[in-house]
């Protein structure tokens, strides 16, 4: 069955449960396709041999009551996996083998899934194009020399390129939704506190969330159902009643009120994006929902706020990489010299840049002017959403201000790179859930995404809206397998 | 506002990242363009705004202080760049 890798997660689960396919069939098919994907550079580490062993073991004694029975899955290399190297895309963790498993991956294996390998990402998830990885940039399956987006670029490339049925990424300022949008797949950033952060290499602790990336909304809902759990090991994990997101999925969104925020119509936004947004508005109306013009007045301050808060938290989180207990160590004349050389040689340029910004805004004399100011503006941004949600059930925006760009196009201009996240960052600052769904193509044939932002803990609602829209939009991703010779 | 080379040197010292002259100049340029962009926040009056310090509005939960991972010293030590079986080894700190 050569078309196994074309099947959705939902179909694969059904076929394994009905014994039409074995886990070994499915695992072999994805390994075979992954082995031919060298040019995409989506993997940092593969675990194919052991994946096949696990699949055979599963088939001997299959537990068909689990949610992901014998399903192979590769995950972003930001999740700690016990006894499997975890690098966060960095030289400084190039030889790090965790002694423990992240809670979200543990949840996935507990439902019967099998680890295929670890996927490439921007170094410490800092980037929007997967060009900051120590292990080289990732190619988009859409076109050669096109970025897959970032930081979950390997994850996006692997799902769109059918190297894994679904995957998980992390999203601090758009790192799931932006690459999902660039590669024509679905990506959900859950509410802050929905998925445990335990065992995820930390970037910015008040913003980081893990989330699913999939070919369609139903697969996304199923994986979210598996990974979302209350975890006492994460002090910011929130104990709330979680839905059966896939079973409760409904395309009935009649009467829902959807906000259209005027501030997302930014200067210089290409007409194609505006057209896509209008198409989305029409689609939502066709689904029986109502659209309402709203205002989120502080939107333009979100990105500057993010570029204080995220680097500040990162500079503190990354202080642990000192070359002593794990990871890369450079030779130094004394202890301080060893620290300084280790961090200078171990971190890449973008990570160093962000540590420097963070250190500066937290340093004596600048804390109030920058960090405290940013925390106050963050409050205003959250207030904007609270105000809007008095009138609407969800908000519809474009996912990104443009389609995917060429490799190398924005590497020399950090600010233009940061502008990629203009529509996704406010969602992280306010701790809300947001989902990107593929909604069309630009004139070059590259995918474009729409984002649906929900109220806190209202994942079911945005999944339902996405599900209804997906049916109407009927998006077809243009994957040419250009990387297979 | 302008971040000069002296400031870059100072921050790099605080961040424990050694930076040579060439890198320092590049960083100064990058940081200045990023801070030009950040300065936009000064347009906003925030005197009476409460800072948002945590997105979750609940207070942190307490738990008992128990050891959960036992007998993993060997595994932990195995990840260190230099060790002598029982300890992490660092360059000499006492003259």
Token pair 């202890």: residue: A335
Together in a domain, A202 and A72: yes
Together in a domain, A216 and A243: yes
Task: Give how many domains chain A has, as a whole number.
Answer: 2
Together in a domain, A104 and A240: yes
Secondary-structure breakdown of chain B: helix, strand, coil percentages, each rounded to the nearest 5 = 40, 0, 55
In a domain, B49, yes or no: no
Chain A to chain B Cβ contacts (< 8 Å):
157
Q: Could you tell me which residue, A333 or B1, shows the higher pLDDT?
A: A333
Do A355 and B17 make contact, defined as CB atoms within 8 angstroms?
yes
The tens digit of pLDDT for each residue in A116-168 reads: 999 999 999 999 999 999 999 999 999 999 999 999 999 999 999 999 999 99
Q: What tokens were used for A40?
A: 């995409």
Under the banding of pLDDT at 50, 70 and 90, the label for residue A47 is: very high
Task: Look at residue B1 in the predicted model and tell me its pLDDT.
Answer: 58
Together in a domain, A361 and A448: no
Together in a domain, A357 and A410: no
Range of the domain at B30: 5-43
Residue A245 has pLDDT above 90, yes or no: yes
pLDDT > 70 fraction of chain A, expressed in percent and rounded: 100
Helix (H, G, I), strand (E, B), or coil: what is residue A279?
Answer: helix
Do B33 and A353 make contact, defined as CB atoms within 8 angstroms?
no
Task: Give how many domains chain B has, as a whole number.
Answer: 1
Task: Look at residue A396 in the predicted model and tell me its pLDDT.
Answer: 98
Together in a domain, A87 and A220: yes
Of A315, A345, A377, the one marking the end of a domain is: A377
Of A349, A377, A405, the one marking the end of a domain is: A377
**Nearest alpha-carbon partner for B37 in B1, B80, B88, B75:** B1
In a domain, A26, yes or no: yes
- Which of B8, B80, B92 faces A326 most closely, judged by CB atoms? B80
Together in a domain, A324 and A373: yes
Task: Look at residue B83 in the predicted model and tell me its pLDDT.
Answer: 83
Query: What ipTM does the predicted assembly reach?
Result: 0.95
Of A350, A377, A404, the one marking the end of a domain is: A377
Do A415 and B52 make contact, defined as CB atoms within 8 angstroms?
no
Closest residue in A to B31 (Cα) is A357
Q: Could you tell me which residue, A263 or B62, shows the higher pLDDT?
A: A263
Together in a domain, A311 and A253: no
Residue A400 has pLDDT above 90, yes or no: yes
What predicted TM-score, i.e. pTM, was given to this entire model?
Answer: 0.97
Distance, in Å, from the CA atom of A475 to the CA atom of A438, rounded to the nearest integer, reads 7
Average pLDDT over every residue of B67-92: 88
Query: B62 CB near a chain A CB, below 8 Å?
Result: no
Q: What tokens were used for A104?
A: 């979200």
Together in a domain, A231 and A366: no
In a domain, B83, yes or no: no
Give the CATH number, domain containing residue B19.
1.10.20
In a domain, B34, yes or no: yes
Do A238 and B58 make contact, defined as CB atoms within 8 angstroms?
yes
In a domain, A217, yes or no: yes
Residue A325, Cβ density class (10 Å: 0-12 exposed, 13-18 middle, ≥19 buried)? middle
Residue B42 has pLDDT above 60, yes or no: yes
Do B79 and A303 make contact, defined as CB atoms within 8 angstroms?
no
Distance, in Å, from the CA atom of A285 to the CA atom of A262, rounded to the nearest integer, reads 18
Distance, in Å, from the CA atom of A399 to the CA atom of A348, rounded to the nearest integer, reads 28
Distance, in Å, from the CA atom of A347 to the CA atom of A154, rounded to the nearest integer, reads 20
Contacts of A303 in chain B (CB under 8 A): 37
Contacts of B93 in chain A (CB under 8 A): 334-335
Under the banding of pLDDT at 50, 70 and 90, the label for residue A290 is: very high
Query: B5 CB near a chain A CB, below 8 Å?
Result: no
Together in a domain, A189 and A99: yes
In a domain, B30, yes or no: yes
Distance, in Å, from the CA atom of B41 to the CA atom of A305, rounded to the nearest integer, reads 7
Contacts of A319 in chain B (CB under 8 A): 16
Task: Look at residue A413 in the predicted model and tell me its pLDDT.
Answer: 84
Range of the domain at A439: 12-259+391-473
Together in a domain, A400 and A319: no
Together in a domain, A251 and A184: yes
């Amino acid at each position: 069955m050569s078309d196994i890798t074309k099947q959705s997660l939902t179909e694969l689960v059904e076929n394994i449960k009905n014994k039409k396919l074995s886990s070994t069939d499915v695992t072999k098919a994805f390994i075979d396709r992954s082995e031919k994907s060298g040019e995409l550079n989506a993997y940092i580490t593969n675990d194919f041999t052991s994946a096949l062993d696990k699949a055979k073991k599963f088939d001997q004694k299959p537990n068909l009551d689990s949610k992901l029975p014998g399903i192979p899955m590769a995950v972003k290399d930001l999740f700690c996996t016990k006894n499997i190297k975890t690098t966060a895309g960095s030289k400084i963790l190039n030889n790090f083998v965790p002694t423990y498993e992240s809670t979200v991956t543990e949840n996935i294996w507990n439902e019967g899934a099998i680890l295929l390998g670890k996927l490439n990402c921007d170094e410490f998830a800092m980037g929007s194009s997967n060009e900051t990885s120590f292990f080289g940039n990732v190619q988009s399956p859409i076109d050669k020399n096109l970025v897959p987006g970032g930081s979950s670029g390997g994850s996006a490339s692997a799902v769109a390129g059918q190297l894994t049925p679904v995957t998980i990424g992390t999203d601090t300022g758009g790192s799931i939704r932006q690459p999902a949008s660039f590669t024509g797949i679905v990506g959900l950033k859950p509410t802050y506190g929905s998925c445990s952060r335990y065992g995820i290499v930390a970037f910015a602790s008040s913003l980081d969330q893990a989330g699913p990336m999939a070919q369609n909304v139903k697969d996304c809902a199923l994986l979210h159902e598996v990974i979302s759990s209350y975890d006492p090991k994460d002090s910011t994990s929130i104990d709330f009643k979680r839905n059966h997101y896939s079973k409760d999925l409904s395309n009935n969104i009649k009467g829902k009120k959807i906000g259209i925020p005027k501030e997302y119509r930014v200067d210089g936004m290409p007409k194609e994006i505006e057209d896509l947004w209008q198409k989305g508005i029409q689609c939502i109306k066709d689904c029986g929902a109502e659209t309402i013009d709203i205002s989120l007045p502080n939107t333009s301050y979100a990105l500057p706020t993010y570029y204080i808060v995220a680097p500040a938290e990162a500079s503190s989180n990354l202080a642990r990489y000192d070359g002593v207990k794990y990871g890369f160590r450079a030779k130094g004349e004394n202890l301080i010299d060893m620290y300084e050389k280790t961090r200078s040689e171990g971190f890449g340029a973008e990570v160093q840049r962000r540590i420097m910004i963070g250190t500066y805004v937290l340093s004596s004399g600048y804390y109030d002017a920058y960090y405290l100011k940013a925390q106050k503006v963050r409050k205003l941004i959250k207030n904007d959403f609270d105000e809007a949600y008095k009138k609407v059930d969800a908000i519809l925006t474009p996912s990104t201000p443009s389609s995917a760009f060429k490799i190398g196009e924005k590497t020399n201009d950090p600010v233009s790179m940061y502008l990629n996240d203009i529509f996704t960052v406010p969602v992280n600052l306010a701790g809300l859930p947001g989902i990107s769904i593929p909604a069309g193509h630009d004139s070059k044939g590259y995918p474009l995404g729409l984002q649906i932002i929900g109220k806190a803990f209202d994942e079911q609602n945005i999944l339902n809206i996405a599900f209804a829209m997906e049916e109407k939009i009927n998006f077809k991703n243009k994957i040419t397998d250009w990387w297979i010779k | 506002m302008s971040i000069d080379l002296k400031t870059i040197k100072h921050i790099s010292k605080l961040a424990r990242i050694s930076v040579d002259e060439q890198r320092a100049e590049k960083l100064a340029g990058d940081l200045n363009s990023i801070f030009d962009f950040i300065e936009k926040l000064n347009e906003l009056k925030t005197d009476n705004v409460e800072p948002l310090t945590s997105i979750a509005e609940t207070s942190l939960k307490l738990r008992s202080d128990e050891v959960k991972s036992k007998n993993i010293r060997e595994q932990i030590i195995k990840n260190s760049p230099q060790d002598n079986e029982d300890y992490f080894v660092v360059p000499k700190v006492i003259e």
